[in-house]
Amino acid sequence: MYAVINDRGAQYRVEEGRELDVALLDATPGTEITFGDVLLVGGETVKIGNPTINGASVLAEVVGEAHGPKIVVFKYKSKARYRRRTGHRQDYTRLMIKQIVS
């Protein structure tokens, strides 16, 4: 069974027993989180919400935090000796999907 959830403007396809990286949450490892915005539940039959499915939820547990790859931003203007190099590394919260309730 799988589901598509909406978390703060981003949509994720989740399955029971799989891990998922979402934008950083203010939660400690071991905390359980419930996602109520379930857009679609699939399996033998598919339920599509309009826009969400009433009574459906996804239960997840916080496993820890992770870092994404480093992205380098380089600004350059020719003939002006202008160079700026900055980097960014996004932080993620890793979740373990426990249960999909439809």
Per-residue model confidence as pLDDT tens for the chain (102 residues): 899 999 999 999 999 999 999 999 999 999 999 999 999 999 888 889 889 899 899 999 999 999 999 999 999 999 999 999 999 999 999 999 999 998
**Torsion 62-32-26-1 (CA) sign:** positive
What is the CB neighbour count within 10 angstroms for residue 57?
A: 16
- Both tokens of 33, joined, read 């989180």
